[in-house]
Chains A and B, each alone.
Chain A
Amino acid sequence: DAGVIQSPRHEVTEMGQEVTLRCKPISGHNSLFWYRQTMMRGLELLIYFNNNVPIDDSGMPEDRFSAKMPNASFSTLKIQPSEPRDSAVYFCASGTANTEAFFGQGTRLTVV
């Protein structure tokens, strides 16, 4: 298995534009997590899915953020419209209950 795959690895966009981040979890994992990492706040849990169903989205900062998981092998995190303060590294991870989480390499987002 290639591990958790995220795309793109880097994204530079202008303020106000829509940004879509993509994630392919490890096959067989039933949980998927989206995290955001910044120097100021560290790693923040944004949302997680279990069996493709959103379980807790309380970490999503604003209505500008949305996440979907249409099937077991794909998830998206969308920011619309993007703002400079959204600049961060966004990680997707997958796993199963009470075991380790496997992280992707992250998407470094810069909003100018």
Chain B
Amino acid sequence: SQQGEEDPQALSIQEGENATMNCSYKTSINNLQWYRQNSGRGLVHLILIRSNEREKHSGRLRVTLDTSKKSSSLLITASRAADTASYFCATPTSNSGYALNFGKGTSLLVTP
């Protein structure tokens, strides 16, 4: 099965700074997704980027995808304390796109 691996495992920054998280995966994919999980809660979808896209924006989020390097990055600009959470990348288990495999996540702490 394919699985994304996030890097770094943990990241601590101050409010206003940018946070960058990276994800590497192993085999060809047709899309890659990023999710957020607040402590004790379920995962929430942030953004989906398809294999024919190189960059995608959503508010303060910017996601890039490099299929030649099998990697993706999530950038959160002008971070806020409320961005404190774990962030996961996810890739389909097959190109039929049924289920997702998740990495172990990056734990982000944003301090005021």
A-B contact count (CB 8 A): 57
Instruction: Give Cα A97–Cα B92 distance, bound, in whole angstroms.
Output: 9
Please judge, given known A-B contacts A42-B103, A98-B30, whether A48 and B44 are in contact too, CB under 8 Å.
Answer: no
Q: What residue in chain B is nearest A97 (Cβ atoms)?
A: B97
Known contacts A105-B41, A105-B42: does B31 contact A98 (CB below 8 Å)? Answer: yes
Q: B1-58: which have CB < 8 Å to A?
A: 1, 30-31, 33, 41-45, 48
Can you offer 10 A-B residue contacts whose CB atoms are under 8 A?
A: A31-B99, A42-B104, A45-B99, A45-B101, A56-B93, A97-B97, A101-B33, A101-B45, A105-B42, A106-B41
Q: Which chain A residue has the least Cβ–Cβ distance from B90?
A: A101
Chain B, 69-102, contact with A by CB distance < 8 Å: what is the 0/1 string? 0000000000000000000101011001111111
> In terms of DSSP, what is the predominant structure of the interface of chain A?
strand
Residue of A nearest to B46 (CB): A100
**Which residue on chain B has the smallest CB distance to residue A42?**
B104
Which chain B residues lie closer than 8 Å to A31 at the CB level? 98-99
Partner of B93, one of A42, A45, A100: A45
> Which residues of A have CB within 8 Å of B41?
105-106
A103 to B45 alpha-carbon distance, docked (Å): 9
B45 and A97 within 8 A (CB)? no
